[in-house]
């Protein structure tokens, strides 16, 4: 069993269909492809939120949601050694790769390397995979960002 974490605005934390990622796209999905971005540690999820914040307001009114992923849900692990050189800055490449994995609904999601913290991982869940039904969504909880972090936004 793997536990992964999301952090987001309270108005959107209950989205388990990947609506936000589908609307805006991300590092591992182009616009039009639904997914849920999670992290293997809540602290990594906080850092991800921090680096993507476009201002202090993006760091307020937050909540977390965790997902328990059983082994039967099958996550594909992206082999970092096989990624092209410079993948960290090549969104066209990572979006293409993510789209290939997400469109093959044989996996409930996939594990990718973190750009922010080398050696740690994010998990991209596929709500359209039949195996996603095996993933247990935990109740959301309010999250107050530490004021010392807010001072840097």
Number of domains in the chain: 1
CA distance 121 to 106: 20
The answer to the question of residue 151 being in a domain is no
- Locate 94 and state its tokens: 């990572």
- Domain of 31? 2-144
Residue whose token pair is 């328990």: 68
Average predicted confidence (pLDDT) for the chain: 94
pLDDT in tens, 59-110: 789 999 999 999 999 999 999 999 999 999 999 999 999 999 999 999 999 9
- Is 83 part of a structural domain of the chain? yes
Q: How much of the chain, in percent, has pLDDT values that exceed 90? A: 85
What is the per-residue pLDDT for 49? Answer: 87
- What DSSP state is assigned to residue 59? G
Residue 121 domain flag: yes
Give the containing element (helix H, strand E) for 110: strand 109-113
Report H helices in 104-151: 147-150
pLDDT band for position 51 (cuts 50, 70, 90): confident
Is the pLDDT score of 151 beyond 80?
A: no
- Whose tokens are 């849920």? That residue is 36
Give the predicted TM-score (pTM) of the model: 0.93
- Is 56 contained in some domain? yes
């Amino acid at each position: 069993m793997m536990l992964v974490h999301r952090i987001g605005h309270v108005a959107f934390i209950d989205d388990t269909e990947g609506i936000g990622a589908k609307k805006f796209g991300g590092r591992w999905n182009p616009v039009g492809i639904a997914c849920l971005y999670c992290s293997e540690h809540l602290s990594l999820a906080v850092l991800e939120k921090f680096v993507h914040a476009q201002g202090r307001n993006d760091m307020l009114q937050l909540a977390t949601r965790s997902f328990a992923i059983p082994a039967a849900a099958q996550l594909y692990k992206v082999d970092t050694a096989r990624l092209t050189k410079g993948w960290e800055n090549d969104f066209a490449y990572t979006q293409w790769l993510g789209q290939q994995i997400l469109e093959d609904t044989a996996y409930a999601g996939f594990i990718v390397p973190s750009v922010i913290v080398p050696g740690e991982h994010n998990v991209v869940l596929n709500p359209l995979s039949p195996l996603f039904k095996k993933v247990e969504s935990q109740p959301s909880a309010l999250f107050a960002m530490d004021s010392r972090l807010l001072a840097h936004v």
